[in-house]
Amino acid sequence: MTRLRTLALGLVTSLSVAACAAAPGRAADAAHPTVVELFQSQGCSSCPPANANLLAVADRPDVLALSFGVTYWDNLGWKDTFARDQYTQRQWDYARGLGHPGVFTPQVVVDGRRDGVGANPADFAGLIRTGARATVGPQISLAPTEVSIAATAPPPKPADVWLVRYDPRVEQVAIRRGENAGRTLPHRNVVKQLIRLGAWTGAASRYPLPPAADPALKTAILVQLPAGGPILAAARG
């Protein structure tokens, strides 16, 4: 079922990318990166190409590449070592927000606004090229112990402020069972913590940051409309 949905959504993505390419917005840069989220599973044989595409852009300063392991493949031969129910729920939020009847892997979501399969390098690059946000979001200032969000025009509804902690190191995972049995797959920018810090309504706000579970993890902040809505602003430390 996953592969059939992958083919159908690939066609939808190609059409939506073409429609969005001319939309006005702000070009991404290091201070305002395009957020590229990959939802995948180590047990999914269709996922390694999309994962390779994510690794290829992980060092780009204008891209915040994040890898989320989902759990619904865990009973099909191999339990993903990075998957969490919270990340599966995030993907379901995107499915509802983007008008999909269900979830699929691999799935690449760009700025919470558009998505695709991401296994084809050209399609993956096309999704990132359409990553300019329609509006300029709030300024985010990230310090070791807190994050500050500047005042600006209020969002249409209170936005969620997410703390993302991810591992920038390449982690090699030997897969012993399931569709990828016998392969060793590299993973990078794997999300290890996803914490909602609070709501942002347009006023200048500060949020304390909890300590990282591992000092090697990198920190990013997302300001995002709730329930899988668009990402308004992003920053990384």
pLDDT in tens, 175-185: 999 999 999 99
Residue 10 clears pLDDT 50, i.e. is over it: no
Q: Tell me if residue 220 falls in helix, strand or coil.
A: strand
Q: Per-residue confidence at 227, pLDDT binned at 50, 70, 90? A: very high
- How far is residue 48 from each of residues 12, 102, 103, 161, 185, measured CA to CA in Å? 21, 21, 17, 30, 7
> CA-CA distance, 181 to 129, in Å (whole number)?
34
Q: Which two tokens stand for residue 4?
A: 């059939």
Q: Per-residue confidence at 29, pLDDT binned at 50, 70, 90? A: confident
Nearest to 57 by CA among 118, 135, 143: 118
Q: Which residue reads 């379901």 in tokens?
A: 92
The pLDDT assigned to 12 comes to: 38
The pLDDT assigned to 205 comes to: 98
Q: Which residue reads 């990198």 in tokens?
A: 218
